């Protein structure tokens, strides 16, 4: 079964945790993959998740690599559109690869809900 990747910028991590808890039934049925810090927040709330490096240390690129390998079914990335991120090139690459490989990508709760309700 393919992963649902979970990523959140620092100012959006709690919002992502709340979202995953709200859709816990869905997330209990699919394997999840998260960047390290986001995954740590999810684990603190009792959720099971596989992790890669933190985003600024290459985690976004690692998830992008899994996309190219056909191992990701969807990406939920709660981005902070007002913040500056030193690893912006990695973020843009991840977003671009979602388009290249036709991977559902949610960057806000409304779109993430569509993924949680329709992918299994």
Domains, in order of start, for the chain:
3-118 (3.40.50.1380)
Q: Read off the pLDDT of each residue in 59-74 and give the average, rounded to a whole number.
A: 97
> What pLDDT score does 28 carry?
92
Helix (H) or strand (E) run with residue 82 in it: none
Among 35-44, 78-87, 106-115, the least confident range: 78-87
Q: Report yes or no: 91 and 55 within 8 Å, Cβ to Cβ.
A: yes
Largest separation between any pair of C-alpha atoms in the chain: 35
The pair of three-digit structure tokens given for residue 73, joined into one six-digit string: 């079914």
Q: What strands lie across the sheet with 105-106, from one edge to the other?
A: 50-52, 32-35, 3-8, 72-78, 105-106
Does the pLDDT of residue 14 top 90, yes or no?
Answer: yes
Active site residue 60: yes
**Set 10, 60, 80, 99: catalytic member:** 60
């Amino acid at each position: 079964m393919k992963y649902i990747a979970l990523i959140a910028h620092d100012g959006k991590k709690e919002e992502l945790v709340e979202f995953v808890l709200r859709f816990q039934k869905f997330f209990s049925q699919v394997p999840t993959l998260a960047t390290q810090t986001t995954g740590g927040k999810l684990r603190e709330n009792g959720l099971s998740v596989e992790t890669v490096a933190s985003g600024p240390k290459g985690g976004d690129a690692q998830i992008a690599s899994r996309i190219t390998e056909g191992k990701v079914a969807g990406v939920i990335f709660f981005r902070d559109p007002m913040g500056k991120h030193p690893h912006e090139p990695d973020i843009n690459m991840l977003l671009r690869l979602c388009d290249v490989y036709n991977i559902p990508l949610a960057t806000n709760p409304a779109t993430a809900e569509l993924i949680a309700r329709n992918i299994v």
